[in-house]
Amino acid sequence: MESVIVAIDGPSGTGKSSTSKAVAAKLGLSYLDTGAQYRAITWWMISNGVDVHDADAVANAAGKPVIVSGTDPARPTITVDGADAAGPIRTEEVTSKVSAVSAVPEVRALITELQRTIAKDAEHGIVVEGRDIGTTVLPDADLKIFLTASPEARAARRSGELKGVDVHATKEALIKRDAADSSRKTSPLAKAGDAVEVDTTELTLDQVIECVVTLVDEKRTAAK
Ligand SMILES: Nc1ncnc2c1ncn2[C@@H]1O[C@H](COP(=O)(O)OP(=O)(O)OP(=O)(O)O)[C@@H](O)[C@H]1O
Ligand SMILES: Nc1ccn([C@@H]2O[C@H](COP(=O)(O)O)[C@@H](O)[C@H]2O)c(=O)n1
């Protein structure tokens, strides 16, 4: 198996981005952060005065922004209408509104199409991380991983990133976002039936990376 497609899904803060970037870099693969794309379209909606809780308004505007993702794991990029969106998509406002926008079927249809095109064009293969990659976007991925971790571990990790942020409030916000993402009708956050579940609660990031690299190697060996 020359080119390999790896799907990594899971709830917020389980280590999807950190793991996917490192695995892609180690194996010479491309990397796609699909959460960044949903954040980018949310940022565009906010910036253009679209009420994110009005699903019809979001659906009508969904085709307007041009979202481009750079897939080098050493320097992933995201632009909206040509402007760098890497900073603005990480604000508290975008984080609190992204689940409403990502639940709109028209948004998901457009972004899913974009994701499939990027995966198809990745010459050496790609690691794609998100919530519905193994179930919907790339159901034929060579390897599917579903990362989990306790809410306490995830909140502690996030609070470590954002100095001075209250761990309890962070935990509640994570739980709320996961509940919204898991309960939406279209393509909810879910583990694919054939995904390997890795509980990262007691693992270091390096151990998780090693685990995924080993699983990819096993797949490649089995395919020879
Ligand atoms: N196994 C681990 N042990 C300790 N810290 C970790 C581990 N995995 C990731 N982290 C840290 O946890 C934080 C969240 O990780 P990351 O952004 O990769 O999660 P995520 O699943 O992509 O989150 P989100 O879905 O919200 O974007 C980062 O600061 C990262 O360095
Ligand atoms: N495949 C995906 C990926 C993400 N989402 C939505 O985007 C939000 C932000 O994701 P992060 O990984 O950057 O935290 C997430 O909460 C989902 O609402 C999605 O729907 N599908």
Supply the residue whose CA is at minimum distance from atom 19 of ligand 2. 131
Residue-wise DSSP of 38-76: HHHHHHHHHHTT--TT-HHHHHHHTTSS-EEEE--TTS-
- Burial class from Cβ neighbours inside 10 Å (0-12, 13-18, 19+) for residue 45 reads buried
The sign of the dihedral angle between the CA atoms of 193, 132, 106, 120 is: negative
Q: What is the pLDDT at residue 98?
A: 98
pLDDT tens per residue, the chain (224 residues)?
A: 679 999 999 999 999 999 999 999 999 999 999 999 999 999 999 999 999 999 999 999 999 999 999 999 999 999 999 999 999 999 999 999 999 999 999 999 999 999 999 999 999 999 999 999 999 999 999 999 999 999 999 999 987 776 667 889 889 999 999 999 999 999 999 999 999 999 999 999 999 999 999 999 999 899 88
Token duo for residue 63: 């085709």
Neighbours of 74 (CB within 10 A): 8
Q: What is the pLDDT at residue 17?
A: 98
Task: Check the annotation: does 28 bind a ligand.
Answer: no
Supply the residue whose CA is at minimum distance from atom 12 of ligand 2. 35
- For residues 104 and 40, give the distance between their C-alpha atoms in angstroms, rounded to a whole number: 14
Least Cα distance to 59 among 111, 116, 135, 137 occurs for 111
Q: Which domains does the chain have, with CATH numbers?
A: 4-216 (3.40.50.300)
Q: Which of 16, 18, 212 to probe ligand 1 with, by most ligand atoms within 8 A of CB? A: 18
Task: Check the annotation: does 150 bind a ligand.
Answer: no
Q: Which of 102, 126, 170 to probe ligand 2 with, by most ligand atoms within 8 A of CB? A: 102
Phi, psi of 32, deg, nearest 5 = -130, 120
